[in-house]
Amino acid sequence: MQKKIIKLIPGFSISIFIALFSTFLLKLIPIHIIGASVLSLLIGMLLNTKINISHFSSGLKFTSKKILKFSIIILGASLNIATIFNVGKMSLIVMAFTLFTCFGGGYIVGKLLKINWKLSNLISAGTGICGGSAIAALAPVINANDDDIAYAISATFIFDIFMIILFPILGHLLNLSDIAYGLWAGTAVNDTSSVVAAGFAFSEKAGNFATMVKLTRTLSIIPVVMIFSIITKKKEKETQNSKKSYMSIIPWFILGFLFLAILNSIGLIPLNLSIFLKNLSKFLMTASLAAIGLNTNINNLKKSGFNPMIHGFIISLLVVIVAIFVEYFIGLV
């Protein structure tokens, strides 16, 4: 046991160091266009081309698999199911349409562009739910490899940068109210930091509402992961002709995520502890994505070509259009 732990230390340590460095760098930037997790992933990918990672392999695998799942579990402690009712039915209607667009449209686009179904659905999850957190939650369930995770996160983050710049401009051109714009940004922009940046660039009220909508989107991780767990087990059964128990269909880390979300929703987790666990979750996810970046071969990403990026662009554009049209039909615009 001691020898196993010692073997984990180098890979885990370098992942933590990259996460600390990424967090420090972001503090030097006045406007957070990207999150520390994306920056950590990119630094890891760059280091992969410069160093021999064979000495870090055990620790990197542990961090990218076990620590990633743990970060998803404690993320639940910062979420409140009551947020859904505070945001209201109008946001749920818009989110339902955008999620259907992401996964329904993503399936068709993925087939047309001949992208493997794991990468296609990771991009759809990142676009439809909450960027890196959704990709991180879905990846272990569908057994996605690190290259697919890195590509999916890269695709979603690139389009987030354009959205941060364009959304406030388009919001003013469309003469949107603070609520209408906040709902649009909260449902169509991917990563949390990008939602905050795009929301508050319009107005403080719009920023606050966009952030609340974004938290509601995050909770949709639960049903989406459950559905994909069933799909994955069915695929495994078809290929391996093996029997799976019903309990094996439910990812244990999602149960932990849901359990903590319920505890926080009924007030059993103190506010200070909830804030601490949220920050810890973000940091551990940043370290996990550093490990994924270190395990990612850029040459393998190049072999995938531009099709995944085209996939991300099409789905992101569809979500932006569908969200504003649904708002129009429910009378917000």
Q: Can you give the pLDDT at residue 200?
A: 84
pLDDT higher than threshold 60 for residue 188? yes
Distance between CA atoms of residues 79 and 277, nearest Å: 11
Is pLDDT at 5 greater than 70 in this prediction? yes
CA separation for the pair 134, 75 (Å, rounded)? 11
Residue 308 has pLDDT above 70, yes or no: yes
User: Residue 297's pLDDT is what?
Assistant: 75
77 Cβ contact list (under 8 Å, min separation 6)? 260, 261, 263, 264, 269, 273, 274, 277, 278, 281
Nearest one of 111, 82, 109 to 261, comparing CA atoms = 82
Q: Is the pTM of this model over 0.95?
A: no
Q: Which of the residue ranges 4-13, 164-173, 185-194, 276-285 would you say has the lowest mean pLDDT?
A: 185-194
* pLDDT band (50, 70, 90) for residue 33: low
**What is the distance of C-alpha 169 from the center of its chain?**
25
- Report the largest interatomic distance among the alpha carbons of the chain, rounded to a whole angstrom: 63
Confidence of residue 12 (pLDDT cuts 50, 70, 90): very high
Question: How many other CB atoms are found less than 10 A from the CB of residue 248?
Answer: 12
Predicted confidence band of residue 240 (pLDDT cuts 50, 70, 90):
low
Q: Is the pLDDT assigned to residue 46 strictly greater than 60?
A: yes
Q: What is the pLDDT of residue 246?
A: 47
Tokens of 170: 């388009």
Q: What is the pLDDT of residue 321?
A: 93
Task: Kindly write down the DSSP assignment for every residue of 245-286, as one continuous string.
Answer: -SGGGS-HHHHHHHHHHHHHHTT-S-HHHHHHHHHHHHHHHH
> What CA–CA distance (Å, rounded) separates 299 from 147?
10
How high does pLDDT run on average in the chain? 85
Domain-wise residue ranges, the chain: 2-329
pLDDT given for residue 43 in this prediction: 92
When pLDDT is cut at 50, 70 and 90, the band that residue 53 belongs to is: confident
Q: How far is CA 47 from CA 36, 44, 97, 295, in A?
A: 16, 5, 40, 10
Q: Is the pLDDT of residue 212 over 90?
A: no
Long-range contacts at 273-282 (CB < 8 A, ≥ 24 apart): 273/77, 274/77, 274/78, 275/78, 277/74, 277/75, 277/77, 277/78, 278/74, 278/75, 278/77, 278/78, 280/71, 280/74, 281/71, 281/72, 281/74, 281/75, 281/77, 281/78, 282/35, 282/36, 282/37, 282/71
